[in-house]
Amino acid sequence: MKKIIKNILFIMPPSKSTHELTGESVASYKELPYGLLSIASYVKVYSKKNIQIQILDLNASRNIHYKDILERKIEEFEPDIVGISGLFSSMFDYVNEFSVYVKDKNPDILLVVGGNVSTNAYKLLFKHNGYIDGACFSEGEVPVLDLIEADNPFEAMEKSPSWITHKKIAKGIIPVAAFIHNLDEIPPIDFSMIDIDKYDSRYRNNNPIARDENGMVRLPFITTRGCPFNCIFCAAGSLSGKKVRFMSAERVISDIIRAKEKYNMRRLVINDDQSLIDKGRIKKILEAVVGLNMSLEFPTGLNVKFIDEEIALLLKKAGLEVVNLAIESGSEYVLKNIIDKPMKLSDVKPATKLLRKLGFFVHGFFIFGLPGEREEDRKATVDLIKDVGIDWSNISAAAPLKGSRLYDICLEKGYIDDNNDLLDSHVYQATIRTSEIDPDVLTEYIYQVNLDVNFVNNHRMKTGEYDVAKGYFSNVVENHPSHAFAHYYLSKAYEQLNGKAELSVKHKNAFADLVANNEKWKKYAIAFNLI
């Protein structure tokens, strides 16, 4: 069927599941739709057709009337192709829901899906969704361009190894990724396709001192694709391959300078899976960033394996303030025999000591509930957090993401069911049913560990750095005004600061009110001897 392509609409569903949108555990921030921007930027530069591209990012708005928004956008823009991002597994239900809206509004629209949903759950996607015309396997730049350039896009999808269709599913055809091996071929991201003022960052949630100023432009960059490691919980390798592909240091530096000049970027975010894996390359990039007078973030987490004094000093000079360490577990057994993570626990304490000496805030990522994990392993993780003095710990339940080894293991052993409900799983509620620990018990355990290490035994409170501790607790109160422990320890921090007695009493009273009127907080307050 010949179809003239003029207008392409990319849709980014909410990145959080319904639970996460309403849950008390989740801080709210809006991330730019980098993947869609990369595809759109690539297509705009390389397409020979006179096309228009728009991005509708439903994360950038608090309006939850998605059907009305989508229908209005389709009426106004009249797209020939609609591409729905299924970047995260949690978007599975949104992809199906929005597919109905699109096709009901105009059945002639060519409807395609991309992301983790279409790469690692495509059989499930086509089983539950009879509206989509095609699903893109893995990276989307080349397949989307081929689709747009084709005289007959429906025929092109059937011929392309990277597009999945109902016919191919029926024939059992296995899709193949169309990787861009030289990342310098990807054009600079055209951030003008979105309203960058609508986006903020997790930075304001995790930095205890510095705050994002009004109008501060924060832009993300992905400068590598692929990860060579085999961590059990990660699906990165299934999406971008095991071989790391690098954008050249010179090209990265050029893009950073361009973004600073064109968009007034003041906070640079590098979202690579393994940012430090090529020391020579990252040194060149950091040395160039040093003179640009910007702040720097590595939100995805750094491996202590690659942190030495030279790199740490460069990170500091380049404007990094918070170092997120992807530690995962305080148990050598779990790291080696379960996660298969390429790092040594013996490197954590020296790295933390070095980073603290240079003035960094040190945060850690930790995961509980992996199959085979023992109580002694969980205790070892809690002990490590306290012993090395992690400033703030992000503790999550192991989530069996489609495309990860964990998913395959859990499915094989019957720890999970292979159904679409699983695709709505999240890191705040354990779902893996093993003989070691009940999921509900683990969820409660994780929450209490969070209260223990981040509040009751907060490192900065223990070392008498009350102004820093105040910053952490203030961030929690700002995002979650009904968090009793945040009010309690914010009161304790203010109590130690000159001229803050009134604020101390204010938060002490807030804690008392919450405990008096909420059985959950009363239970935790009793458990930790706060009342």
- Average per-residue pLDDT for the chain: 92
Q: Is 426 helix (H, G, I), strand (E, B) or coil?
A: coil
Please check whether residue 232 is in contact with residue 404, taking contact to mean a CB–CB distance below 8 angstroms: yes
Q: What is the mean predicted confidence (pLDDT) over 266-292? A: 95
Q: What is the mean predicted confidence (pLDDT) over 23-40? A: 76
**Is the per-residue pLDDT at 47 higher than 90?**
yes
Q: Is 75 helix (H, G, I), strand (E, B) or coil?
A: helix
Topology of 7-171 in CATH?
A: Rossmann fold (3.40.50)
Q: Return the sign of the alpha-carbon dihedral for residues 395, 401, 406, 412.
A: positive
- Residue 212: predicted pLDDT: 57
Tell me: the pLDDT tens digits for 348-367? 999 999 999 999 999 999 99
Please check whether residue 322 is in contact with residue 203, taking contact to mean a CB–CB distance below 8 angstroms: yes
**Is the per-residue pLDDT at 49 higher than 70?**
yes
| pTM score | 0.92
Q: Work out the burial of residue 454: count CB atoms within 10 Å of its CB; fewer than 13 is exposed, 13-18 middle, 19 or more buried.
A: buried
**Is the per-residue pLDDT at 488 higher than 90?**
yes
- Residue 431: predicted pLDDT: 87
Burial call 387-416: b when 16+ CB within 10 Å, e when fewer: ebbbbbbbbbbbbbbbbbbbbebbeeeebb
- Residue 374: predicted pLDDT: 95
The rounded distance, in Å, linking the Cα atoms of 116 and 137 is: 9
- Residue 273: predicted pLDDT: 92
User: Where in the chain are the domains?
Assistant: 7-171, 202-457, 460-531
The rounded distance, in Å, linking the Cα atoms of 265 and 188 is: 14
Q: Return the sign of the alpha-carbon dihedral for residues 175, 169, 229, 385.
A: positive
Q: What is the mean predicted confidence (pLDDT) over 121-131? A: 94
Percent of the chain with pLDDT over 70: 92
Q: Is 327 helix (H, G, I), strand (E, B) or coil?
A: strand
Q: Is 265 helix (H, G, I), strand (E, B) or coil?
A: strand
Task: List the CATH code of the domain at 202-457.
Answer: 3.80.30.20
Measured in whole angstroms, how far is the alpha carbon of residue 365 from the centre of its chain?
12
Q: What is the mean predicted confidence (pLDDT) over 25-39? A: 79
**Would you place residue 17 in the very low, low, confident or very high pLDDT band (cuts 50, 70, 90)?**
low
Please check whether residue 6 is in contact with residue 170, taking contact to mean a CB–CB distance below 8 angstroms: no
Topology of 460-531 in CATH?
A: 1.25.40
Q: How far apart are the first and last CA of the chain?
A: 71
**Is the per-residue pLDDT at 213 higher than 80?**
no
Q: Is 228 helix (H, G, I), strand (E, B) or coil?
A: coil
Closest by CA position to 269, among listed 226, 206, 327: 206
Contacts of residue 388, defined as CB under 8 A and 6 or more positions apart, other chains included, come to 348, 349, 352, 353
**Would you place residue 18 in the very low, low, confident or very high pLDDT band (cuts 50, 70, 90)?**
very low
Q: Work out the burial of residue 490: count CB atoms within 10 Å of its CB; fewer than 13 is exposed, 13-18 middle, 19 or more buried.
A: buried
Q: Work out the burial of residue 349: count CB atoms within 10 Å of its CB; fewer than 13 is exposed, 13-18 middle, 19 or more buried.
A: middle
Give the CA distances from residue 458 to residues 276, 391, 393, 465, in Å, rounded to whole numbers and listed in that order: 29, 7, 10, 10
Tell me: the pLDDT tens digits for 175-207? 999 999 999 999 999 999 999 988 865 545 578
Tell me: the pLDDT tens digits for 385-441? 999 999 999 999 999 988 999 999 998 999 987 664 455 555 678 889 887 889 999
As a three-state string, the secondary structure of 436-505 is CCCHHHHHHHHHHHHHHHHHHCCHHHHCCCHHHHHHHHHHHHHHCCCCHHHHHHHHHHHHCCCCCHHHHH
- Residue 378: predicted pLDDT: 97
- Residue 237: predicted pLDDT: 87
**Helix/strand/coil percentages in the chain, nearest 5:** 50, 15, 40
